[in-house]
Amino acid sequence: MFGFKRWTAAVAMIGALIAGLAAAWAGDGQPSSWQLTFQQAATPVMEEITKFHTFLLYTVTAIAGFVLVLLIIVMVRFNARANPTPSRTTHNTLIEVIWTVVPVAILVVIAIPSFKLLFAQLTVPPPDLTVKATGKQWFWTYSYPDNGNFEFDSLLVRDPTKLRPDQPRLLGVDNELVVPVNKTVRVLTTGAEPAIHAFAVPAFGVKIDSIPGRVNETWFKATREGIYYGQCSELCGKDHAFMPIAVRVVSEQAFGTWIEEAKRKWARDGSAPTNVAHAEQVTTR
């Protein structure tokens, strides 16, 4: 019994060490070197996803360890040399009941938090802000139906010399999606061409298909300011790998200031189309 306790303590210490290293190496809003697990959660939903993932990891590890112990016992105690006269027992009602009931119980324990998390992801609470993300070949167009008649394109910054110091290579964009902190943001997404895209931001726990002719919705509530990156996660064509998503989370006051500037910059008044330069850039690729 003492040996079992020591092994249990050792396993717990190793698990805590791995969890600590994973948290230290996890990227904040973007991938990072030596990253072991998810990016740091920036929304309540992503926090729940991370907890559920950790719970499943421990559960699967415990099951695998138990099966490994059984296999070792069988190999050591019931091989031909140690057990020359094998048992002819063919049925054991108790064992058969156990190996049926226990897996069912484990699945039920897993299913309860799984369904809870699924409902949290799919049930959009009353939004403070609605944005529309339209996937195109191969960039995103964002509009703010609650905040004026304007929209803008968001393209990858391909020239490394034009990246800001805080923009990572192959993820930095010319125009970021800007949202306020601690506000529920509803995202409506669709596709503009005959190609399926997917709006995905790992730190938010958001991933949903952008399908032409259909509007899907998801939501997030960022709990801290910063820039959070994602990518189109549906294979959509030759520039699929160059279709990043950048979401800048700012204070409510800064968001109000940005909205006023955005209205002046991208207002669709019919006199100056906003997407001509981007269309020409995409056409020449």
137 and 261 housed in the same domain: yes
108 and 182 housed in the same domain: no
39 with 26: CB under 8 angstroms? Answer: yes
| Number of neighbours of residue 233 by Cβ within 10 angstroms | 18
60 and 136 housed in the same domain: no
Q: Among 37-46, 105-114, 266-275, which is the least confidently predicted range? A: 266-275
Return the higher-pLDDT residue of 103 and 281: 103
Q: Is the pLDDT of residue 95 over 70?
A: yes
Q: What does the pLDDT look like over 231-281, one tens digit per residue?
A: 999 998 899 999 999 999 999 999 999 999 999 998 764 333 444 444 444
- pLDDT over 90 percentage in the chain: 61
Q: How many domains does the chain have?
A: 2
Return the higher-pLDDT residue of 275 and 93: 93
CA distances from 39 to 30, 126, 230 (A): 7, 27, 11
Of 105, 122, 139, the residue that ends a domain is 122
Of 73, 93, 122, the residue that ends a domain is 122
The three-class DSSP label of residue 171 is: coil
145 and 256 housed in the same domain: yes
Mean pLDDT of 179-186: 96
Q: What does the pLDDT look like over 49-70, one tens digit per residue?
A: 999 999 999 999 999 999 999 9
Determine the pLDDT at residue 152.
Answer: 95
- pLDDT over 70 percentage in the chain: 84
70 and 10 housed in the same domain: yes
228 and 115 housed in the same domain: no
Which of 10-24, 76-90, 158-172, 177-191 has the highest mean predicted lDDT (pLDDT)? 177-191
Q: Is the pLDDT of residue 6 over 80?
A: no
**Confidence class of residue 198 from pLDDT cuts 50, 70 and 90?**
very high
Determine the pLDDT at residue 18.
Answer: 54
Q: Among 56-70, 108-122, 150-164, 269-283, which is the least confidently predicted range? A: 269-283
Of 122, 157, 189, the residue that ends a domain is 122
41 with 205: CB under 8 angstroms? Answer: yes
What contacts 178, CB < 8 A, 6 or more positions away? Answer: 247, 248, 250, 255, 258, 262
Number of H helices, E strands in the chain: 5, 10
Return the higher-pLDDT residue of 33 and 253: 253
170 and 251 housed in the same domain: yes
Q: Report the chain's mean pLDDT, rounded to a whole number.
A: 85
10 and 118 housed in the same domain: yes
104 and 134 housed in the same domain: no
Does this model's pTM top 0.85? My answer is no
142 and 10 housed in the same domain: no
User: In CATH, what number is assigned to the domain containing residue 91?
Assistant: 1.10.287.90
210 and 186 housed in the same domain: yes
Q: Which domain, by its residues, includes 26?
A: 2-122
The three-class DSSP label of residue 41 is: coil
128 with 243: CB under 8 angstroms? Answer: no
Q: Is the pLDDT of residue 204 over 90?
A: yes
Mean pLDDT of 211-236: 94
Determine the pLDDT at residue 78.
Answer: 86
Q: Is the pLDDT of residue 92 over 90?
A: no
34 and 102 housed in the same domain: yes
